Amino acid sequence: MFTYPFRYIPHPLVRKAASELCRTLSTSDRPELQAASEGKMFGVLITDRGALYSFSGLLGGKSIIEGFVPPIFDLYQPEGHYRTKEKEISAMPGGPLKARASADLQDWIFEQYVVHNALGETASVKEIFAISGIVPPGGTGDCAAPKLLEYAYRNNLKPIAMGEFWYGRPHSTEVREQGRFYPACTGKCGPLLSWMMKGLQVEENPLDKEYASGAEPSVLFADDAVIVADKPSGMLSVPGRTRAGSLMGWLQQRYGEVHSCHRLDMDTAGIMVFARNIEAKTNIELQFAGRTIEKTYRARLCSGHSPFRHASKGTIALPLAPDWYDRPRQLVDLEKGKMAITEYEVLEMLPNGEIEVLFRPKTGRTHQIRVHAAHSSGLGRPIKGDRLYGDAIEDRLWLTAESISFVHPVTGERLVFQRNNYRPI
């Protein structure tokens, strides 16, 4: 099965080829390859005739470099149409005429990026995105993954496995660390790669799979107002866009009326609170909004390329915002992001370099703990098994909601619940 590029564990051959490319980049005296240290996404495609390599956008100011597949369409020919029109538009005064000329040039670009799929069909980027009634974002077609597939199709190579990894300095907004694999972006590459993979036998999207890990949810507490349950990893919190089972659905089958008050990521296991009527739901949601609900999470951070130099206790404060071109990932956005605050405490430094950490989130932003753990301005270590933020090693996210404390919406009593495997400090 070919790699599902938006959520995957890299094939061993992909990892091996990526390691070889990293060694080449780190030892090369070629200026264009030395430029990779500034930070760049690279791609590896294993085919029936060996490995192919690519990079996103330009590398050292060049679009064509020996040892890497060429671009789908080379915009940067010195005397080409793009360069010529770009100079003309730059010289124009601002206003509707310049805006129209820029839009026409962008439209022309998307018509030049013509790609194939495994069925032998061809289409332009403009045509592919039009199927969904959307306009391609700028730069669509220049990412590493579509370059690799298009080269394989044009040269009658059979794609076997693919992966994209970061090399060089970390990105200031995104979670990036040298040598770690990341999923393809959903904004630019979502529609494009989905079309290009037609005719390949592709791995199933893990998010579409029925929950079948064998671990049953458990109910820690239930009365007429609330239910406190323990969700296994791999189960949705609430019903999603597919028919995959959810914890809320499981509870509704047993208790009737059940309402969600908050969520955990599908990959995150642990304690959740549900309401059994609208009044209780409103009360608990107000407690979340007022930040009076206390939660702890336990995580195992993966080993790093450099020593862990953070204090054993501390607070991480980074503003987060959605990455609209790569949902559901989050960005660190110093201008428009909403502040996310997490307290952490190191529990144990393991011999293999991994680290057990207890997190106490003070806000409730999407992927807050995952980003605060992985980002270079946070702890700089992704949570083990996090395929969104850079540790695609195994099919499990080592993050668990270990405890929760809230005020009962009817009795006014503060309740505290912990999982059995929770080890208090």
Omega before 232 cis (within 30°)?
Answer: no
CA distance 225 to 176: 43
Which amino acid appears at position 249 of this protein? G
At 407, list the tokens. Answer: 């005020």
Q: Supply φ then ψ for residue 43, to 5 degrees.
A: -130, 150
Active site residue 107: no
Q: Which 3 state secondary structure label does DSSP give 320?
A: strand
DSSP code for 68 = S
Q: What angle do CA 192, 195, 198 make, to 5 degrees?
A: 145
In DSSP terms, which residues pair with 331 in a beta bridge? 321
What is the per-residue burial (b if ≥16 Cβ within 10 Å, else e) of 123-142? bbbbebbeeeeeebeeebbb
- 253's enclosing H/E stretch is helix 247-255
Q: How many C-beta atoms surround the C-beta of residue 220 within 10 A? A: 16
Tell me the C-alpha distance between 128 and 108, whole Å: 14
Distance CA(420)–CA(425), nearest Å, equals: 14
Rg (CA), the chain: 24
Pairing, β 269-275 against β 399-407: parallel
The Cα 145–Cα 193 span in angstroms is 8
Q: Of 355, 354, 337, which Cα lies nearest the Cα of 346?
A: 355
CA 269/CA 398 separation, integer angstroms: 9
- The active-site residue out of 142, 265, 323, 391 is 265
At 26, phi and psi to the nearest 5?
-75, -20
Among candidate residues 278, 301, 419, 280, the one with its CA nearest the CA of residue 358:
301
Catalytic site positions:
265
